[in-house]
Copies of this chain bind each other. A is one copy, B any other.
Amino acid sequence: MSIWYDEIHRDSMRFGLKATQTLHSSRSDFQKIDIVDTEVFGRALLLDDLWMLSELDERAYHELLAHPALTTCPEPSRVLIIGGGDGGTAREVLRHPEVDEVTLVEIDPEVIAACKRHLPTLGAGAWDDPRLHVQCDDGAAFLAAAPPASYDVILIDGSDPVGPAAVLFSEEFLSSCASALSPGGVLALQAESPTLHRDVHLDTIARLRQTFEVVAPYYGVVSVYPGGAWSWIYASHGVRHDQPIEARVARLEDATEHYHRGTHHAAFVPPNHIRRALRGA
């Protein structure tokens, strides 16, 4: 029997997918976890009744979180992923042979176990890649304790700034990122909807500008997120977002669904209302 799973946003909008089968449903120490089969969107993951990803369009999210950082960082040897227990970000990072070591710090081991079992296309070969080290830990505490300049790329793959991921938008956390990042390193984080979470989006940019030399928001579409329009932010101590290394981009283009050399530049063009807000800031 089919049932609707709806994400309800501000008690006034909802995005629902009809599940043909519920593959997993549990409450971990941190959150409610559901994995369902749907007709149009393939398998999909919800945490606390919010859509995290669907097989149909997860690549629009994971490719954009990973590749702008990975194609511009001069030597992306040591990569840290905070969150990302589904494995999708690790999968994209590990496409780059320049990466020697990926540390994935996910707070909830049940997310990893459920995704490994029911969403095998997400992590794909990443789980077996000897370069991947998984650690189940609090991402904020982990980063606060990380030695200075210990990572070349840091990717923040958290959920919304409520629940367990709220801390990932705090000033303290972003300072930890700045300190743990190598001088030639790049940070990228998901930064909510420029339409429906416009304030969080602009505040996060402003907060990053206090610490980083280069701060560049970028934009895409993730259909299962509220309103579809989504954003990420690129930040560094000087590495430029607009000069991707040609050979790395070329190598990716046969594998990616969304990202390519054109996307790399187009994604950094904000809608006009955000452009105006940033110019005024």
Contact = CB atoms under 8 A, between A and B. Distances in A.
Interface of A: 4, 6, 9-18, 38-41, 56-57, 60, 195-196, 221-223, 227-229, 253, 256-260, 262-263, 265-267, 269-273, 275
Contacts of A18: 11-14
A251 to B, nearest CB: 13
Given A273-B258, A275-B260, A41 B16 contact: no
Contacts of A260: 272, 275
A40 B16 contact: no
19 contacts: A4-B14, A6-B16, A12-B40, A13-B15, A13-B40, A15-B16, A40-B196, A56-B195, A221-B221, A223-B227, A223-B229, A228-B228, A257-B272, A258-B272, A262-B275, A265-B266, A266-B266, A266-B267, A266-B269
A18 to B, nearest CB: 5
Chain A interface mostly helix, strand, loop or mixed?
Answer: loop
Q: Which 8 A-B pairs have the closest CB atoms?
A: A228-B228, A266-B266, A223-B227, A266-B269, A262-B269, A12-B39, A221-B229, A260-B272
A258 B275 CA distance: 9
A185 to B, nearest CB: 26
Contacts of A4: 14
Contacts of A10: 39-40
B40 A9 contact: yes
A195 B227 contact: no
A193 to B, nearest CB: 9
Contacts of A271: 60, 257-258, 263
A192 to B, nearest CB: 14
A124 B38 CA distance: 41
- Most B CB contacts (10 A, CB to CB) among A10, A222, A253, A271 go to A271
A144 B271 CA distance: 37
A92 to B, nearest CB: 13
Contacts of A265: 266, 269
A14 B15 contact: yes
- Most B CB contacts (10 A, CB to CB) among A4, A12, A256, A270 go to A12
